[in-house]
Structure 1
């Protein structure tokens, strides 16, 4: 037998083997549907535990469309590869999970596979939920199966080729999914281990607060280095020690439970509804989260960091290096006039909101001290909406009032006056870009 036929035979065998492996990876069997279990089949304690699990997992945030029924899906989730629409997870039999067994629900949570066998997109963070315990998964199932059934089908996803071909997700899972619970670290105490489980698992914090690679996976070696969500920059959770005033556990707990922290600022954008969910869970859960997050801090930068004393100087306008910068910048000079007209009533050093309401100065704001103006721009464009009696933070939106240039001028003034860091570049272009992104959602 000549060498060429041997090579052809070997190549053919390799192709066949590869196809067999591909089919094995991509094909997942359906799990038989069940009759929708009556609410009475779940005891009250399990449902109560499920409410806690679902709140810690922020399920309602992603699975509720604007103006829609809770958990009925339809919320558009923007990704670099197109738009994915959240599914209906109410117990509706036709459009939700009403005919899913606990086995099917567990497989979806742990492996990202729907009851009928199709693969779920990792916008549903099963690579983190897989670490949930069996009791937590069962409790979440009990809670969701006792919600009001809502008949609502999500719109078709709008993804680029070939990512709209679901079976390819099997290969993505090979790279990023490590299924199953994680053992506790015996060298750490119970609170730290609970916090790690919540942050890395149910809370899936790295999904938002980590950069993504070219195929949408969390970039290896860069967990919690900061990410991008719905047009907002999710700050690096491992750099809280480098804030103008390093975060304390008490401040972080207060922020996560109320959406506001003294000497730091208020939650906005995608983080605001997360804090509303965390306000409903036992405080010890949030304390555990804070303990773990503060344990992963990177060394505080010696040069880039702004000292607390320098930040405090930003409270008094006219006496800081920042105001000197503002006087030499035409954009910041225009922004000073706008600030006096629209912002000083709340954010000026003599504003009652600060003197009486104990709101933090902008000198401590994460957005004002960030490397880019994106979050400051988002705050000015969209504000923080009014949510009735439960509202802790409110800020009017200025997107309909001010032009791109005026928003950029405000950003230039605030940066120069309240931060000791250098001026932002191309601010007006960033305003235009952010506004265009927001309008496209």
Structure 2
């Protein structure tokens, strides 16, 4: 028997939230995090598998292509994935998207199980891991509807962090699993967890009628300037997180071959970036997302310069610590930029409408729906940063033997992002009027 959709959902009503809303929202958040976490593990599993492909004699640049392709495919899938919860229901689509993770898990085992598997087949099979990357957009778009405006920063931060930490999980667990059971286990290991996530979503998550919207209505946000401005900023935050996290094992192995035994420490970076992400949302709830984002981009540029110094001086300790700082700042930026999105679209929707009126409440609902749609587009465009970073490292190493040129380009981009943040959301003259009064 199909589970009924929830038609009465008013999270911004304090009484409703206290008596009913909080419990339902938390239950959906827990199972959303579980499914999204597995999406990230399958999405990024090749960051560890690629390091173990020594017997295939692929070049460093070829290996970076294997790691980069899941990022490319996952980024593209985020656009349709973000519209799916509103079309099919958050619970329903979480079940489907979880079961689709069986595809990359099984195909990975097939690829590494045959020593004659050609390089092009590795590329095709690695690309299917992009199915896990789409889960983030659908999960975040869905959870947006469950929480009131003043709690979305923390809720979205926890949801995203629970998913992001999947990068760390795979980099911590997979070397142990591969060492004990062989390379094929890197795919097969996740199958029972994927099935558990699908079953949990089916029985414990909910569909909201208030989240219903047609793709055509949702795509209207693609015509908003704010959608594209935030997409650029998200390339700098989340794109950097996923790019640096997946590139780290190969970067250690290629730039510090004498320290190859320390590749197992790579999990610390994405763990740190994931755990600190809610802090970015928490700070933004109190200080404003734009302020936090501005200072964070400045810190990212400085951290990238320090990583460059560690590589140029060939000092592993400096390189490793600077890299940890860099990934940590991407985590803070992930939280702060995601907090900006609902604030921006709500401010635009209710501009000029008297608070406390029915018209204001209706406009706020439209703003929440627009923010949910924008999240998918922004997360899709932003995730392409993971592809660019891996390809940047691969191309830089192939052309110069080192990653310095790539890091210099990344640092320059963060400076550009800081300027955009200031000009669009903090500068008094010329800033968007309806956003100036909002804690963006």
The TM-score normalised by the length of structure 1 is 0.25
Which fold has the larger relative contact order, with Cα–Cα distance below 8 Å and residues 6 or more apart in sequence?
A: 2
Q: In proportion to residue count, which structure has more strand?
A: 1
- Name which one, 1 or 2, has greater alpha-carbon Rg: 1
The TM-score normalised by the length of structure 2 is 0.25
